[in-house]
Amino acid sequence: MSEGNGARDSKMLHPELGDANGQGGAKLQHAEGASKNLQSRRREAQPSGAVIRGDRPVDQSEAANRFMAAPEHAKIHDERLWDLREKRDRQMHGIPEWEELRTLASEIKEHALTRLDHYLELFERNALANGIQLHWAKDAAEHNQIVLGIVRRHDAKRLIKSKSMLTEECGFREFMQTEGVEIIETDLGERIQQLDDEAPSHVVVPAVHKLRGDVAQVFAKTLGSDEDNDDPAYLAERQREATRPLILSAGIGMTGANFLVAESGGVVVCTNEGNADLSANIPPVHIVSAGIEKVIPRLDDLAVFIRLLSRSALGSPITQYTSHFRGPRLGGEMHVVLVDNGRSTRLGMEKFWTSLKCIRCGACMNTCPVFRRSGGLSYGATYAGPIGMIINPTFDPHKYSRLPFSSTLNGSCTNVCPVKINIHEQIAAWRQVMSETHEMPMMKKAMMAAAGRLLAQPALYRVAIAAADSALKHLPRFAVYNRLNSWGRQRELPAPPAETFHAWYKRNRGARK
Ligand code: SF4
């Protein structure tokens, strides 16, 4: 993962772009009318993500502090994601049977996951009958080698792909680049992240942590656009004109999969830009990378998930494109690579297997107060936010040992999850695992032990609370808001109540039998 924007020069321009595509900041005629000059405004630098130091645990709080120290980025990130959460709520209130849909979706996933071998074999049989070539990959390395083999057989030099978290999980882009195969992302947000040499920060909106000015800078350095023009229409057109020729001449197309339908042997991909259809339909060869947990039994089940997915993700009734791929085009090839990469191990984890129900809607991220204020890159992992806290430790419990502590355990993630994963309970369960396996930092462990002793003695607890309330009322401000109090760094502590709940209860109800 990138630790910052770093110095970039004209060598980053794609060799096929050339002067004709506007190097040196030439503006496009058709976007000119909408262009907006930024020169008068000082730009706030985009905060970088978590610093990965070998095998040391990712320090999310350190990266979160840096994100919050960039007030413009932090504010807009929070507002954008809260807006998605509010839109999701409005959609939910428009569907009286919303809770029944969630229950049904959760039960369908549970049914499929507890009979995974049966449904995967059914999918395989039907996919093969449809003319799809099927591959099984036990891990990321095998997945990457299988795709490379297909690319080599077709002597392809360029592969276009739509957004796929699984390929991020497999380190696919970096791997293919070392093999001399050029990858072009067709999703706009993902393409921005690719050009900036950064991982996606969110499963649905990969560049949501970037401001328009950040995108203008990335495009200026990599596509030769005008650095002072951050008009979205201009930037989108600039990107389209730069990338379309590359897409049209690619030899291989790749997509992820939102769902694998066992009874039809078909693959379903949901996008809002139609970019999966470009990847699947322009090159003669279509490769689908899919985690084994994506299988659902029937087409009828699909309707349940389609009603939930986009409403939960973006607060829109449906994705613009819900594409069904059932077999190769005439004269073409279609491959599906089914990837395990730790999923069957997770299926055997009693407390954590239901995380495999996830349909990657991102709703738990949009609602999470920690995620909204710290940005997805602060988690230093493929999966960020609440779902990331329970998935990432299954890959590497040491490296991601601190992530489960980046949560307030308020339960909002669980409340919005369309497949009813008990996310906050699993976060708490991971904390217990980290404590038992000595992966908890010493300081935190000592503080937890002290808190445990205090909470176990009600009389002592009440004295401590009364003393803290009194201290908050009378201490000078600098004694409360200083470097030692990390809770007070980004927010004011609430004013102490005139009376504790315990005192109120004793006064009002204490005498009752
Ligand atoms: S855990 Fe639930 S809310 Fe979070 S991304 Fe997955 S399906 Fe969506």
- What is the per-residue pLDDT across 144-167, written as a single tens digit (0 to 9) for each? 999 999 999 999 999 999 989 999
Does 254 sit in the ligand 1 pocket, CB within 6 Å?
no
Q: How far apart are CA 289 and CA 44, in angstroms?
A: 38
Amino acid at 211: L
In a domain? residue 447: yes
pLDDT of 43-83, one tens digit each?
899 999 999 888 899 999 999 999 999 999 999 999 999 99
pLDDT of 85-119, one tens digit each?
999 999 999 999 999 999 999 999 999 999 999 99
% the chain with pLDDT above 70: 91
pLDDT band (50, 70, 90) for residue 445: confident
Indicate which atom in ligand 1 lies nearest the CA of residue 416: 3
**What pLDDT score does 499 carry?**
85
**What pLDDT score does 7 carry?**
36
Indicate which atom in ligand 1 lies nearest the CA of residue 313: 8
The backbone torsions φ and ψ at residue 367, rounded to the nearest 5 degrees and listed phi first, read -95, -15
In a domain? residue 200: no
SS3 251: coil
The residues, ordered by sequence, that sit 6+ positions from 166 with a Cβ below 8 Å of its Cβ are 143, 256, 289, 290, 291, 339, 341
Mean pLDDT of 194-209: 96
Q: How far apart are CA 66 and CA 4, in angstroms?
A: 12
Mean pLDDT of 426-438: 94
Does 361 sit in the ligand 1 pocket, CB within 6 Å?
yes
How far from chain centre, in Å, is Cα 159?
23
Q: How far apart are CA 49 and CA 377, in angstroms?
A: 4
Radius of gyration (C-alpha) of the chain in whole angstroms: 25
Mean pLDDT of 247-269: 97
**What pLDDT score does 485 carry?**
75
Q: How far apart are CA 377 and CA 3, in angstroms?
A: 10
**What pLDDT score does 231 carry?**
95
Indicate which atom in ligand 1 lies nearest the CA of residue 413: 3
- Token pair of 301 as six digits: 């089940």
Q: How far apart are CA 142 and CA 146, in angstroms?
A: 6
In a domain? residue 76: no
pLDDT band (50, 70, 90) for residue 180: very high
**What pLDDT score does 442 carry?**
82
Does 84 sit in the ligand 1 pocket, CB within 6 Å?
no
The residues, ordered by sequence, that sit 6+ positions from 377 with a Cβ below 8 Å of its Cβ are 1, 48, 49, 50, 63, 198, 199, 201, 209, 384
pLDDT band (50, 70, 90) for residue 221: very high
**What pLDDT score does 4 carry?**
35
Q: How far apart are CA 123 and CA 489, in angstroms?
A: 53
In a domain? residue 58: no
In a domain? residue 108: no
How many structural domains compose the chain? 1
- Token pair of 448 as six digits: 């937890």
In a domain? residue 502: yes
Mutate to test the pocket of ligand 1, among 423, 424, 425 (most ligand atoms within 8 A of CB): 423
Which of 130-134, 160-164, 471-475 has the least mean pLDDT? 471-475
Indicate which atom in ligand 1 lies nearest the CA of residue 203: 5
How far from chain centre, in Å, is Cα 270?
16
Average pLDDT, the chain: 90
More confident residue, 464 or 391: 391
% the chain with pLDDT above 90: 75
Question: Which residues on neighbouring strands pair with residue 183, listed in sequence order?
Answer: 159
In a domain? residue 478: yes
Mean pLDDT of 394-409: 95
- The number of beta carbons lying within 10 Å of the beta carbon of residue 284 is 16
Mean pLDDT of 444-469: 88
Mutate to test the pocket of ligand 1, among 101, 312, 364, 383 (most ligand atoms within 8 A of CB): 364
How many whole angstroms from 310 Cα to the centroid of ligand 1? 12
Mean pLDDT of 442-458: 87
Q: How far apart are CA 3 and CA 513, in angstroms?
A: 63
**What pLDDT score does 117 carry?**
98
DSSP state, 35? -
In a domain? residue 462: yes
Domain span at residue 464 reads: 442-508
Does 384 sit in the ligand 1 pocket, CB within 6 Å?
no
The backbone torsions φ and ψ at residue 136, rounded to the nearest 5 degrees and listed phi first, read -115, 130
pLDDT of 339-387, one tens digit each?
999 999 999 999 999 999 999 999 999 999 999 999 999 999 999 999 9
Q: Above 90 in pLDDT, residue 232?
A: yes
